[in-house]
A = this chain, B = another copy of it.
Amino acid sequence: MENFTAYNPVKLRLGKDIVHELGKSVQKIGKKVLLIYGGGSVKKNGSYDDVMGQLKSIGAEVYEYTGIQSNPLITDVDKAAELGREKNVDLLLALGGGSVLDTAKVTALTIPVDHSGWKFISGEAVAKKGIPIISVLTLAATGSEMNMFAVVQNPETKEKKSVWSPHCFPKESFMDPKYTLTVPKNYTGYGITDLVAHSLEAYFGKGGSSLADRFVYSIIAEAQEYGPQLMNDPDNYDLRAKIMLAATYALNGTTIIGKAVGDWGVHAIGHVLSVLYDVPHGASLSIVYPAWLKFQMHKLEDRISELGENLFNEPDAEKSIAMLESFFESVESPVRLQDLNIGEDKRQEIIEHLVRNKATGNVHKLKDEDYEAIVDLMYAAR
Contact = CB atoms under 8 A, between A and B. Distances in A.
Range class of the A interface residue count:
35 or more
Interface stretch (A95-103, A130-138, A208-216): A208-216
Contacts of A238: 1
A29 B1 CA distance: 30
A8 interface: yes
A15 B4 contact: yes
A27 interface: no
A198 to B, nearest CB: 14
A254 interface: yes
A2 B2 CA distance: 35
A190 interface: no
A279 interface: no
B1 A245 contact: yes
A5 B13 contact: yes
A128 B210 CA distance: 39
B222 A214 contact: yes
A60 interface: no
A242 B16 contact: no
A35 interface: no
Contacts of A209: 245
A18 B1 contact: no
B3 A14 contact: yes
Contact of A214 (B2, B8, B221): B221
A219 interface: yes
A352 B245 CA distance: 43
A125 interface: no
A223 to B, nearest CB: 10
Task: Output the residue of A3, A18, A217, A257 with the most chain B CB within 10 A.
Answer: A3
A12 B3 contact: no
Given A211-B222, A219-B211, A241-B258, A4 B14 contact: yes
